[in-house]
Amino acid sequence: MYDFAFHKPSTLAEAVGLLADPDARPLSGGQTILPALKHRLDRPSALVDLSGIAELRGIRREGDRLVIGAMSRHAEISRDPTVQAAIPALARMAGNLGDTQVRNRGTMGGSLANNDPAADYPAAALGLGATLVTNRRRIPADEFFLGMFTTALEPGELLTGIEYPIPDKAGYAKMRNPASRYVMTGVFVSRGPAGVRVVVNGAGPGVFRQAEMEAALTGNWSPEAVAGIRQSPDALNSDIHGSAEYRAHLVTVMAKRAVVDAG
């Protein structure tokens, strides 16, 4: 690990100022940046720890939206009664992320900003038609996820919170690697203000919507509606853990389970 400066600002403005250095990196939960430092895959001039910024925390309901601060940790989200009442599927998702240590350190904002293809929260954000709020602007989820580990965030821009429209129904199901606990294939489904959405994560280089399944569920909200729909394996991941064809099959299986989860 290389030498670097360490800062722990107490305000958002202070953090943004420190991150004006293009070689500085924000630190939220640390599940990605710390292993990268240990393996010398990144060499920042400074780490800016966001954990002391009260503006980035908090969970509340505002009318027909659930607002979650970017530094809210997975364990907090899973236990929060407001989340459990408004979007139970999101609380269940948070409670099934990684292991106990990950859930007590990892943050929603860090996961979304990192945009790992095998992460869970991008599926929920896109699947619910969320709005991602930064220190500069508001970004619809449909415009936020640009590709593997790539988002619409610009240099010096920090994710401060996420606004989720509260759906009528939402559910999530995933097949995860038993060793790493990362998602091999997951599907998030919802019906609500953003219409019917079906979002796949883990199977490809990034989250994506499954339009054929969305159309089927719009006419018939049931697992049978998607049972005969086959995902093309083209452009899906293929590795030692599973072929593209296997992941394509899992999309249908997980979609059916997600609809059951949604009720």
The dihedral sign for the CA sequence 69, 85, 251, 191:
negative
* Topology alike, domains 1-51 and 169-262: no
Map out the domains of the chain as residue ranges. 1-51, 169-262
pLDDT on residue 99: 87
What CATH class is the domain 169-262?
alpha beta
pLDDT on residue 2: 79
Taking residue 139's Cβ as centre, other Cβ atoms within 10 Å add up to: 19
- What's the predicted TM-score (pTM) here? 0.95
Apex 200 CA angle, 125 and 139, nearest 5: 30
Query: Along the chain (263 residues), what's the average pLDDT of each consecutive run of 10 residues?
Result: 91 96 92 86 93 96 98 98 98 94 94 95 98 98 96 96 98 92 95 97 97 98 98 96 97 98 96
Contact in structure between 180 and 190 (CB atoms under 8 Å)? no
pLDDT on residue 126: 98
Looking at CATH, the fold of the domain delimited by 1-51 is given as: 3.30.43
